[in-house]
Structure 1
Amino acid sequence: MLELISLLIHGIQPLLIPFCFVGAWAVIFLFIWSLWMAVRDSVSTAKQMHQIPCTNCQFFTADYRLKCTVHPSTANTEAAIDCCDYQPKTNPYLY
């Protein structure tokens, strides 16, 4: 039994080096690809989140209990991107 395993290892040894080489580069490629996908997804999410106009609205209170006096359930969410009640702050020092 031990001789069979030894013979098998010596038989596949010339193939192990190319397989390990390709496997190592595949792992490196997959790691870099997953990092690239994570960066791409977070940039697209950040672009979408920066479209939310709530912080520049006169109805925004900046209080965690009541963020918006008109639509408190949708304040600072993606549903507030096209808010029909958005009014820009006329004087930011008053709010």
Structure 2
Amino acid sequence: MLQLISFLIHGIQPFLVPICFVVAWTVTILAVLSLWTAARDSVTTAKQMHQIPCSGCQFFTDNYRLKCTVRPSIANTEEAIHCLDYQPKTNPYLY
């Protein structure tokens, strides 16, 4: 049994370096692609979140209990991007 294992190891040995080379580069490329995809998705999400107009609306209260006096259920969510009740603050320095 030991001779069979020794024979297999010596038979595979010339192929180990190329196999390890390919596996190492594959893992490296997959890690870079994963990081790139995560960064791209983060930028897309950030761009969408910056479209939420709630902080510039006159009905936004900056209170964690009641964020919006008109539509509190959608305040600071993606649903508020095209809110029909949005009114810009008349004096942004008031609050």
Short-chain TM bin: over 0.9
Shift of residue 94 of structure 1? Answer: 2.1
Aligned to 1:4: 4
Structure 2 matches for 1:9-88, cutoff 5 A? 9-88=9-88
Gaps of 5+ in 1: none
User: What is the TM-score with the length of structure 1 in the denominator?
Assistant: 0.98
Shift of residue 93 of structure 1? Answer: 2.1
Shift of residue 68 of structure 1? Answer: 0.2
Shift of residue 92 of structure 1? Answer: 1.1
CA–CA distance in structure 2, aligned partners of residues 9 and 74 of structure 1: 64
RMSD of aligned C-alpha atoms?
0.6
Aligned to 2:94: 94
User: What is the TM-score with the length of structure 2 in the denominator?
Assistant: 0.98
Shift of residue 15 of structure 1? Answer: 0.7
Shift of residue 34 of structure 1? Answer: 0.3
Shift of residue 36 of structure 1? Answer: 0.2
Write the letter of the residue equivalent to 2:13.
Q
Q: What is the aligned residue count?
A: 95
Identity among equivalent positions (%) equals 75
Shift of residue 90 of structure 1? Answer: 1.0
Q: How big is each residue's C-alpha offset from its partner over 1:7-39, in whole Å with a ceiling of 9 and x where there is no partner?
A: 000001111110000000000001000000000
